[in-house]
Amino acid sequence: MSILTIHSEGEFQPFEYYTDPLEIAARLRRIQTLFERWPLCPELTQNAEQDAILAAYANSVRRLRERYGFQSADVIAITPDHPDRDALRRKFLAEHTHSDFEVRFFVDGRGLFYLHPDAKVYAVLCEAGDLISVPAGTKHWFDAGEQPNLKVIRLFTTPEGWVANYTGSDIADRFPKLEEYLERMK
């Protein structure tokens, strides 16, 4: 189940909580963040390669490319036995911005985005079928968890792909990681 919770910068206790995808989308629209649910392609197997995944979601990917001018798309998969899982996790865990949109469609698994566009922190638990687009320049971080399991389509408008500008803030350390977030949302 996808979840959006909204927090003050200094405290985790959320003061807004949404699980209805339409409500999540409407609330995130107010911070210029796109959230959509796409129907999953059940014919894709667990071991489907990048080309098969991009082909399965070609219509939705094309629609976003036309709307936002994305130049390239790829698929990234992180599994609990990925040799670089800890290094990959740390790369996304500190607050950063991009000069490009950060667009992710969750083909499988889940991950926790924290957006920090203003004096509030927006936690978005994304699951398979969720599309999220973090606007350029919006501070954010992301946790895939200690046992990462996710497969996402990424879309880029620049040839450089994923380039992070770290803010140097330690705010991410003060918010729960994925496992603790799930525990606290029970």
Cα–Cα nearest to 181, from 32, 1, 56: 1
Nearest CA-CA partner of 77 in 144, 133, 162, 155? 144
Residue whose CB is nearest to Fe ion in the complex, by number: 102
Looking at the Cβ atoms of 41 and 157, the one nearer to Fe ion is: 157
- In angstroms, what is the minimal distance from the CB of 135 to Fe ion? 11
Which residues have C-beta within 8 Å of that of residue 180, sequence separation ≥ 6? Answer: none
**Rounded least distance, CB 76 to Fe ion, Å:** 12
Sign of CA dihedral 53, 54, 59, 65: positive
Do strands 120-127 and 102-116 pair parallel, antiparallel, or not at all (unpaired)?
A: antiparallel
Residue among 19 and 99 whose Cβ is closer to Fe ion: 99
Smallest distance from Fe ion to CB 41, Å: 25
Side chain identity, residue 183: E
Interface residue list for Fe ion (CB under 5 A): 102
Q: How far is the CB of 43 from Fe ion (least distance, A)?
A: 30
Nearer to Fe ion, 2 or 138 (CB): 138
Give the residue with the Cβ less far from Fe ion, 58 or 136. 136
